[in-house]
Amino acid sequence: MVAAPDDDGFTSVTHKKPQRAPRNRKGKNRFVERTLDQKLKHREEALRRSGYLDKCREMVRLALAPPPQREGDEDREGVPPVPCPPPVCVVCLGLGSVSESSKAQDQCVLLEALVDELKEELDEDVPTEFYDPVFSPEDAAFLTSRGHKVLSSDHPLRLDRRTLLYIPHGPRTLFEALLRANWTSPAQLERVVLLANRLDLYDDPTYSGSLKSGAGRGDKEALERGGDELGASAEYIVRAAGLFHIVPLPPTKEHLEAFNDLALEWVVPARLEGKGEAFWLGELEEAPKQPEQDQRVDEAADAVEKLSLGGA
């Protein structure tokens, strides 16, 4: 391109580079969403790097081990005085959406690792069932693809066999309904094995989630009958805390949000000795308006149905 002459007689010339055709940048630098399988694999790698999965698997091995007074066990640290009765199946309630929550992904990874440990220790298959009303079709399809059963309706809380109930940070009403549904005999209550909120913390006034924390004068009556400041009954949780052996999950800073205040818990048979018939008929309750068994079933169904309403 030739410009007009300047005053000094020189003519300035500028050169323009020919324009290139625009590149096809379709797809370049576009964020690629990881699949749900990739997300869980990523969470699993993080849990393995921190050593947390190995610590939790060791906890399960020691819980199932013979008591230390048996020959050869005296020097083994961490072996509980009463072994955990081996569960024959696992039920997970209130996990949350695995496709949406990284906390639920961590909790799912831990559960699968512990189920693998149970299978190795028991040398048999351990069927696993999941239920949460917030599950999306993607959640259900994913869990099914990994060999689990996803229930389309709420799980009956009255157990017909020894079951490990995995309920991470479930609502207090669910634990109360679960315990009431199985509070009919020593044999029935011993079917309940929990990997869930620590039952003993509900009656600890120093714990923020305690029934007693923050209670004022207006709450005294509720606490005396085993309820909380909202009037929700928790008498069976308080009673069960003294009957269950409680093994907290290993401490962790990296995965605190997913696993804080969770524990493996099971009934100690010796603590049930001497409990009379009235203990199992619920002497703390007022006379129900319907038969006791029907009331337990209704409360259990209602608690499971409301899983998505929040944690304890």
- In the chain, how long is the greatest CA-to-CA distance? 119
Tokens 């309630």 correspond to: 93
User: Tell me, what's the pLDDT at 59?
Assistant: 95
Count the helix, strand and coil residues of the chain and give each as a percent rounded to the nearest 5.
Answer: 40, 15, 50
How far apart CA 301 and CA 180 sit, in angstroms, is 12
The answer to whether the CB of 98 falls within 8 A of the CB of 112 is: no
Tokens 């079933």 correspond to: 297
Angle between helical axes of 52-64 and 102-122 (0-180°, round to 10)? 40
Residue 17 Cα to chain centre, angstroms: 64
Domain boundaries, the chain: 36-68+80-309
User: Tell me, what's the pLDDT at 232?
Assistant: 55
| Radius of gyration for the chain, computed over Cα atoms and rounded to the nearest angstrom | 28
User: Tell me, what's the pLDDT at 308?
Assistant: 47
Length of the chain: 312
User: Tell me, what's the pLDDT at 217?
Assistant: 36
Q: In order along the chain (312 residues), what is the average pLDDT of each group of 10 residues?
A: 52 56 57 84 96 96 75 59 93 96 97 96 94 96 97 87 96 94 95 96 60 43 41 81 95 91 96 91 46 52 54 42
> 100: phi > 0 → left, psi -120 to 50 → alpha, else beta; which?
alpha
